[in-house]
Amino acid sequence: MTAIFVLIIISLIVAVGFLVAFLWSVRNGQYKDSYTPSVRILFDNDKPSDNTHKS
Amino acid sequence: MQAQVEKEVKCYHCGDVCGKDEIVVTEKHFCCDGCKLVYEMLQENGLCTYYQLEKNPGIKLKAAQHERFSYLNDASVQSQLIQFQNNEVSKATFEIPAIHCASCIWLLENLFKLREGILGSEVNFIRKETTITYDHRAISLKQVVELLASIGYEPSISLEGAPKATNRQEKLFYYRLGVAGFAFGNIMLLSFPEYLSAGSFIEQHFVRFFAWINLILALPVFFFSSSVFFTSAYESLKRRQLNLDVPLALGILVLFGRTVFEIVAHTGAGYADSLAGLVFLLLVGRWFQGRTYERLSFERNYKHYFPVAVTRMNKGREEQVTLDKLAVGDKIVVRNEELVPADAVLLKGEANINYSFVTGEAEPVARSLGQIIFAGGRQEGCTIELQLTKQVSQSYLTGLWNHKAFEKQREDITTFSNKVSRYFTPALLLVAVLTFAYWAFTDIPKAFDAFTAILIVACPCALALSSPFLLGNAMAILGKNKLYLKDTTVIERLSAINEVVFDKTGTITLAGNKDIVYSAGVMPDDQQALVKALVRHSNHPLSSRLRQYLGNNGTYDVKQFSEVPGKGISGLVNGIKVKLGSAAFVDLTESLSGGIAETRVWVSFNGVPKGYYAFTNQYRPELKEVVAALKEHYTLSLISGDNEGEKTKLQQYFGQEVAMHFKQSPHEKLHYIEQLQQQGKKVLMLGDGLNDAGALKQSDAGISVSDNINNFSPACDAILDASQFGKLPAMLAFSRAAKTALIFGLLISGAYNAVGLYYAVQGNLSPVVAAILMPLSSVSVVAYGVMATQLLGRKYGLLGAAANAPKVNKSVANYEIQLT
Amino acid sequence: MNTNTEKFSYDNAIVRNFAIAVMLWGAVGMLVGVIAAIQMFAPHFSLGIPQTGFGRLRPLHTNAVIFAFVGNGIFMGVYYSLQRLMKARMFSDVLSRIHFWGWQLIIVAAAVTLLFGFTTGKEYAELEWPIDIAITLVWVVFGINMFGTIIKRRERHLYVAVWFYIATWITVAVLHIVNSLELPVSFLKSYPIYAGVQDALVQWWYGHNAVAFFLTTPYLGLMYYFLPKAANRPVYSYRLSIIHFWALIFIYIWAGPHHLLFTALPEWAQSLGMVFSLMLIAPSWGGMLNGLLTLRGAWDKVREEPVLKFLVVAVTAYGMATFEGPMLSIKSVNAISHYTDWTIAHVHVGALGWNGFLTFGILYWLVPKMWGTTLFSKKLANWHFWTGTMAILFYAIPMYWAGFTQSLMWKEFTPEGFLKYPNFLETVIRLVPMYQMRAAGGFLFLAGTFLMIYNLWKTAAQGRFIANEESEAPALVKNVVIHDHYWHRWIERRPIQMLVLSLIVILIGGIVEMIPTFMIKSNIPQIASVQPYTPLELQGRDIYVREGCYTCHSQMVRPFRSETERYGEYSKAGEFVYDHPFQWGSKRTGPDLHRLGGKYPDSWHYNHMFDPQSMSPGSLMPSYPWLFTQSINYASTPKKIKAMRTLGVPYAEGYENQANNDLDQQADKIVASLKSVEIEVKRDKEIIALIAYLQRLGTDIKKANPSTTAQNQ
Select the more confidently predicted residue: C377 or B393.
Answer: C377
Rounded to the nearest angstrom, the gap between the alpha carbon of residue B293 and the centroid of all alpha carbons in its chain is: 7
**Measured distance CA(B750)–CA(B463) in Å, rounded:** 8
**Measured distance CA(C609)–CA(C597) in Å, rounded:** 15
For C394-412, how does the pLDDT look when each residue is reduced to its tens digit (9 = 90+)?
A: 999 999 999 999 999 999 9
Q: Do A18 and C249 touch (CB under 8 A)?
A: yes
Residue C706 has pLDDT above 50, yes or no: no
Q: Are the C-beta atoms of C573 and C713 separated by less than 8 Å?
A: yes
Q: Are the C-beta atoms of B60 and B775 separated by less than 8 Å?
A: no
| Secondary structure (3-state) at C94 | helix
Question: Is A1 in CB contact (< 8 Å) with chain B?
Answer: yes
**Measured distance CA(C535)–CA(B573) in Å, rounded:** 123
**Measured distance CA(C434)–CA(C442) in Å, rounded:** 12
Per mean pLDDT, which of B417-431, C211-225, C485-499 is the most reliable?
Answer: C211-225
What pLDDT does A48 receive? 58
Q: Do B178 and A22 touch (CB under 8 A)?
A: yes
Tell me which residue in B49, B171, B206 faces A27 most closely, judged by beta carbons.
B171
What is the sign, positive or negative, of the torsion defined by CA atoms of B441, B446, B448, B454? negative
Chains near A with 3+ CB pairs less than 8 A apart are B, C
**Measured distance CA(C296)–CA(C299) in Å, rounded:** 6
DSSP H or E segment with residue C521:
helix C495-521
Specify which residues B687 forms β-bridges with. Answer: B704
Please work out, in degrees rounded to the nearest 5, the angle formed at the alpha carbon of residue B209 by the alpha carbons of B205 and B212.
140
Q: Are the C-beta atoms of B18 and B29 separated by less than 8 Å?
A: yes
Looking from the CA of C326 toward its CB, the CA atoms found within 13 Å total 19
C-alpha distance from residue B46 to each of B35, B39, B43, B750 (Å): 17, 10, 5, 66
Which band of pLDDT confidence, cut at 50, 70 and 90, is reported for residue C704?
low
Residue B692 has pLDDT above 90, yes or no: no
Average pLDDT over residues B629-644: 85
- Strand B718-721 and strand B701-706: pairing? parallel
Per mean pLDDT, which of B4-13, C497-506, C639-648 is the most reliable?
Answer: C639-648
For C49-59, how does the pLDDT look when each residue is reduced to its tens digit (9 = 90+)?
A: 899 999 999 99
Which band of pLDDT confidence, cut at 50, 70 and 90, is reported for residue B245?
confident
Q: Do A35 and B123 touch (CB under 8 A)?
A: no
Residue B93 has pLDDT above 80, yes or no: yes
What pLDDT does A1 receive? 58
**Measured distance CA(C167)–CA(C160) in Å, rounded:** 11
Buried/exposed code over C672-698 (b: 16+ C-beta within 10 A; e: otherwise): ebbeeeeeebebbbbbbbbbbbbbbbb
Select the more confidently predicted residue: C19 or C484.
Answer: C19
Minimal CA separation from B158 to chain A, in Å: 22
Provide CB contacts within 8 A for B27, sequence distance 6+.
Answer: none
Tell me which residue in B126, B206, B812 faces A33 most closely, judged by beta carbons.
B126
Q: Are the C-beta atoms of C107 and C68 separated by less than 8 Å?
A: yes
What pLDDT does C511 receive? 56
C-alpha distance from residue B37 to each of A55, B12, B547 (Å): 19, 12, 32
User: In chain A, which residues have their Cβ closer than 8 Å to the Cβ of B124?
Assistant: 32-33, 36
Q: Do C268 and B192 touch (CB under 8 A)?
A: yes
Tell me which residue in B89, B112, B189 faces C5 most closely, judged by beta carbons.
B112
What pLDDT does C479 receive? 53
Tell me which residue in B112, B165, B202 faces C4 most closely, judged by beta carbons.
B112
Q: Do C4 and B119 touch (CB under 8 A)?
A: yes
Q: Is A17 exposed, middle or buried (0-12, 13-18, 19+ CB in 10 A)?
A: middle
Tell me which residue in A5, A31, A46 faces C472 most closely, judged by beta carbons.
A46
Q: Do A12 and C229 touch (CB under 8 A)?
A: no
Minimal CA separation from C226 to chain B, in Å: 17
Provide CB contacts within 8 A for C522, sequence distance 6+.
Answer: A1, A2, A3, C198
Lowest mean pLDDT among A17-26, B189-198, C27-36: B189-198
Average pLDDT over residues C293-315: 91
Average pLDDT over residues C260-265: 64
**Measured distance CA(B67)–CA(B70) in Å, rounded:** 5
Residue B707 has pLDDT above 80, yes or no: no
Residue C627 DSSP label: G
Average pLDDT over residues B424-432: 84
* Closest residue on chain A to B169 (Cα): A27
Q: Do C267 and B84 touch (CB under 8 A)?
A: no
Q: Do A30 and C515 touch (CB under 8 A)?
A: no
Per mean pLDDT, which of B105-114, B283-292, B513-522 is the most reliable?
Answer: B105-114
**Measured distance CA(B29)–CA(B22) in Å, rounded:** 7
Residue B702 has pLDDT above 80, yes or no: yes
Rounded to the nearest angstrom, the gap between the alpha carbon of residue B116 and the centroid of all alpha carbons in its chain is: 37
Tell me which residue in C268, C269, C474 faces B119 most closely, judged by beta carbons.
C474
Q: Are the C-beta atoms of B786 and B467 separated by less than 8 Å?
A: no
Task: Tell me whether the omega of the peptide bond preceding residue C228 falls within 30 degrees of 0, making it cis.
Answer: no
Select the more confidently predicted residue: C65 or C488.
Answer: C65
Looking from the CA of B690 toward its CB, the CA atoms found within 13 Å total 24
Tell me which residue in C233, C254, C276 faces B812 most closely, judged by beta carbons.
C233
User: In chain C, which residues have their Cβ closer than 8 Å to the Cβ of B165?
Assistant: 482, 484
Tell me which residue in C268, C297, C477 faces B133 most closely, judged by beta carbons.
C477
Per mean pLDDT, which of B123-137, B471-485, C336-350, C691-705 is the most reliable?
Answer: C336-350
Q: What is the pTM of this model?
A: 0.84
Q: Do B86 and C479 touch (CB under 8 A)?
A: yes
Average pLDDT over residues B699-716: 75
Residue type, B69: F
Per mean pLDDT, which of B210-219, B589-598, B616-625, C311-320 is the most reliable?
Answer: C311-320
Q: Are the C-beta atoms of B575 and B583 separated by less than 8 Å?
A: no
What is the sign, positive or negative, of the torsion defined by CA atoms of C74, C54, C321, C304? positive
| Secondary structure (3-state) at C578 | coil
Question: Is B53 in CB contact (< 8 Å) with chain A?
Answer: yes
Mutating which of C4, C238, C504 best tests the B interface, going by the most B Cβ atoms within 10 A?
C4
For B326-380, how does the pLDDT look when each residue is reduced to its tens digit (9 = 90+)?
A: 888 888 888 777 788 888 888 888 888 877 667 666 667 777 788 888 888 888 7
Which band of pLDDT confidence, cut at 50, 70 and 90, is reported for residue C289?
very high
DSSP H or E segment with residue C37:
helix C12-39
Least Cα distance to B781 among B802, B757, B808, B750 occurs for: B750
Average pLDDT over residues C331-347: 91
Dihedral angle over CA of A23, A28, A33, A35, nearest 10: -80
For B769-778, how does the pLDDT look when each residue is reduced to its tens digit (9 = 90+)?
A: 776 777 778 7
The DSSP annotation for B135-159 comes to ETTTS-HHHHHHHHHHTT------S
Select the more confidently predicted residue: B532 or B233.
Answer: B233
Minimal CA separation from A37 to chain C, in Å: 7
Please work out, in degrees rounded to the nearest 5, the angle formed at the alpha carbon of residue C622 by the alpha carbons of C620 and C627.
150
Chains near C with 3+ CB pairs less than 8 A apart are A, B
Which band of pLDDT confidence, cut at 50, 70 and 90, is reported for residue C481?
very low
Which band of pLDDT confidence, cut at 50, 70 and 90, is reported for residue C41?
very high
**Measured distance CA(B453)–CA(B767) in Å, rounded:** 10
Select the more confidently predicted residue: B217 or B55.
Answer: B217
**Measured distance CA(C610)–CA(B227) in Å, rounded:** 73
Specify which residues B353 forms β-bridges with. Answer: B365, B379
Minimal CA separation from A55 to chain B, in Å: 11
Minimal CA separation from B199 to chain C, in Å: 7
Residue C262 has pLDDT above 50, yes or no: yes
Lowest mean pLDDT among B777-786, C587-596, C666-675, C692-701: B777-786
Mutating which of A10, A36, A47 best tests the B interface, going by the most B Cβ atoms within 10 A?
A36
What pLDDT does B710 receive? 56
What pLDDT does B6 receive? 39
Q: Which residue numbers of C have CB closer than 8 Å to B's CBs?
A: 2-5, 156, 233-234, 236-237, 246, 250-251, 254, 266-269, 271-272, 275-276, 297, 474, 476-477, 479-480, 482-485, 490, 494, 496-497, 500-501, 503-504, 507, 711, 713
Q: Are the C-beta atoms of B805 and B480 separated by less than 8 Å?
A: yes
* Closest residue on chain A to B209 (Cα): A5
Interchain CB contacts (distance < 8 Å): A and C: 125
Mutating which of C206, C253, C293, C483 best tests the A interface, going by the most A Cβ atoms within 10 A?
C253
What is the sign, positive or negative, of the torsion defined by CA atoms of C297, C298, C302, C307? negative
Mutating which of A11, A14, A40 best tests the B interface, going by the most B Cβ atoms within 10 A?
A40
Q: Are the C-beta atoms of C493 and C541 separated by less than 8 Å?
A: no
Which band of pLDDT confidence, cut at 50, 70 and 90, is reported for residue C223?
very high
What pLDDT does B294 receive? 61
* Closest residue on chain A to B819 (Cα): A35
User: In chain A, which residues have their Cβ closer than 8 Å to the Cβ of C580?
Assistant: none
Provide CB contacts within 8 A for C528, sequence distance 6+.
Answer: C704, C705, C708
* Closest residue on chain A to C81 (Cα): A41
Lowest mean pLDDT among B593-607, B741-755, C483-497: C483-497
What pLDDT does C61 receive? 96
Q: Are the C-beta atoms of B504 and B640 separated by less than 8 Å?
A: yes
Tell me which residue in B47, B125, B190 faces A36 most closely, judged by beta carbons.
B125
Residue B592 DSSP label: G
For C569-624, how does the pLDDT look when each residue is reduced to its tens digit (9 = 90+)?
A: 998 888 888 999 999 999 999 999 999 999 999 999 999 999 999 999 989 999 99
Q: Do B125 and A15 touch (CB under 8 A)?
A: no
Question: Is B213 in CB contact (< 8 Å) with chain A?
Answer: yes
**Measured distance CA(B636)–CA(B657) in Å, rounded:** 9
Q: Is B385 exposed, middle or buried (0-12, 13-18, 19+ CB in 10 A)?
A: middle
